[in-house]
């Protein structure tokens, strides 16, 4: 019998704005974020297994492939919740840097939920996949929906937005591992001197103003990560000196992204960064 093979793309996200309002009783933080996708992506291949088992492989050796992997967890959640007794063989082509602040694992989980919904013919609406995704992680619902969105709650409440003005995105990840839980754990909302403005960013996007979008970039988690890891600050400074129009840390870090409107500037920023760190990517925002 010919087995069907399906594919899903799992793009990386960046936070154009990340604000924290308060710490909640349940330990999570109430956030306001504006997120968008870039065209650096993992690829998840899914094929039916003729036995009731989840098998995950990858070309990289440095990520877990068992129940610690978010794509594996997504498959298990669907099986448990909907009584699925079919199996799946998944292969993850990993391209997104790991533990980078780019939601790589979350996007893989989203790709698994979308793909297995098709492979197993579950016919779940996207809204249901988003709700399931929220059980796996705060960034998973956004990764299911994709595009550009305003995210509130702990990140799972979404309102879709139009695409930001098109530009180049240069991503640089220093060789350090940053734990999201650690960063939120060290974050003190009362220590902030100011908050980034959601209305300013929404207005820049709706007017498609690239300069105003750059001016409205902000991430309050920089207060923790930049203080703790001076190399992240160095990368930010390096991008600014090399002429990036807007520069920000994504998520809890340590990846820093620079926005550039003119293609001729891209090589300059890229080359300046390569002196500092090995993992530098040139991408576009996904429209």
Ligand X SMILES: C[C@](O)(CO)[C@H](O)COP(=O)(O)OP(=O)(O)OC[C@H]1O[C@@H](n2ccc(N)nc2=O)[C@H](O)[C@@H]1O
* Cα 271 to Cα 93: distance, rounded to the nearest angstrom: 27
Q: Copy the structure tokens of residue 196.
A: 């980034």
26 in active site: no
Nearer to ligand X (CB atom), residue 69 or residue 119: 69
From the list 42, 108, 139, 245, the catalytic residue is 139
CB 11 within 8 A of CB 40: yes
- One-character DSSP codes across 187-203: --GGG-S----HHHHHH
Asked if 155 interacts with ligand X (CB under 6 A), we say yes
Q: Copy the structure tokens of residue 95.
A: 């391209």
Asked if 86 interacts with ligand X (CB under 6 A), we say no
- Work out what residue 29 binds among ligand X, ligand ATP, none; the CB cut-off runs from 5 to 8 Å by kind: ligand X
66 in active site: no
Nearer to ligand ATP (CB atom), residue 182 or residue 200: 182
Instruction: Compute how many residues bind ligand ATP; rule: CB under 6 A.
Output: 20
Nearer to ligand ATP (CB atom), residue 132 or residue 266: 132
HSE-up of residue 240 (Cα within 13 Å, Cβ side):
11
Q: Map the footprint of ligand ATP across residues 233-252, applying CB under 6 A.
A: 251-252
Asked if 71 interacts with ligand ATP (CB under 6 A), we say yes
In terms of Cα–Cα distance, which of 191, 182, 190, 164 is closest to 257?
A: 164
* Cα 14 to Cα 103: distance, rounded to the nearest angstrom: 8
Known binding positions for ATP:
97-107
The residue at minimum Cβ distance from ligand ATP is 105
- Phi first, then psi: what are they for 16, rounded to 5°? -75, -25
Asked if 1 interacts with ligand X (CB under 6 A), we say no
Enzyme catalytic residues? 13, 139
């Amino acid at each position: 019998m010919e087995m069907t093979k399906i594919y899903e793309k799992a793009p990386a996200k960046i936070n154009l704005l990340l604000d924290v309002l308060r710490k909640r009783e349940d330990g999570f933080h109430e956030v306001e974020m504006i997120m968008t996708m870039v065209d650096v992506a993992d690829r998840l291949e899914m094929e039916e297994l003729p036995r009731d088992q989840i098998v995950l492989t990858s070309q990289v050796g440095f990520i877990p492939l068992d129940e610690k992997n978010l794509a594996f967890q997504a498959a298990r959640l669907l099986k448990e919740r909907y009584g699925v007794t079919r199996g799946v063989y998944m292969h993850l082509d990993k391209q997104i840097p790991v533990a980078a602040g780019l939601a790589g694992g979350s996007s893989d989980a989203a790709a698994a939920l979308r793909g297995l919904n098709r492979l197993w013919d579950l016919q779940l609406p996207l809204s249901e996949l988003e709700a399931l995704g929220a059980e796996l992680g705060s960034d998973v619902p956004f990764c299911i929906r994709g595009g550009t969105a305003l995210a509130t709650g702990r990140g799972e409440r979404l309102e879709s937005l139009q695409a930001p003005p098109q530009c180049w995105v240069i991503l640089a990840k220093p060789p350090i591992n940053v734990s999201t839980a650690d960063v939120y754990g060290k974050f003190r909302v009362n220590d902030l001197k100011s908050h980034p403005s959601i209305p300013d960013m929404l207005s820049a996007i709706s007017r498609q103003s690239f300069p105003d979008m750059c001016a409205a970039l902000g991430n309050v988690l920089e207060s923790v990560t930049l203080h703790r890891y001076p190399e992240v600050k160095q990368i930010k400074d390096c991008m600014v000196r090399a002429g990036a129009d807007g520069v920000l840390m994504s998520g809890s870090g340590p990846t820093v992204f620079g926005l550039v409107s003119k293609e001729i500037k891209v090589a300059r920023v890229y080359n300046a960064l390569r002196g500092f760190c090995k993992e530098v990517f040139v991408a576009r925002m996904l429209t």
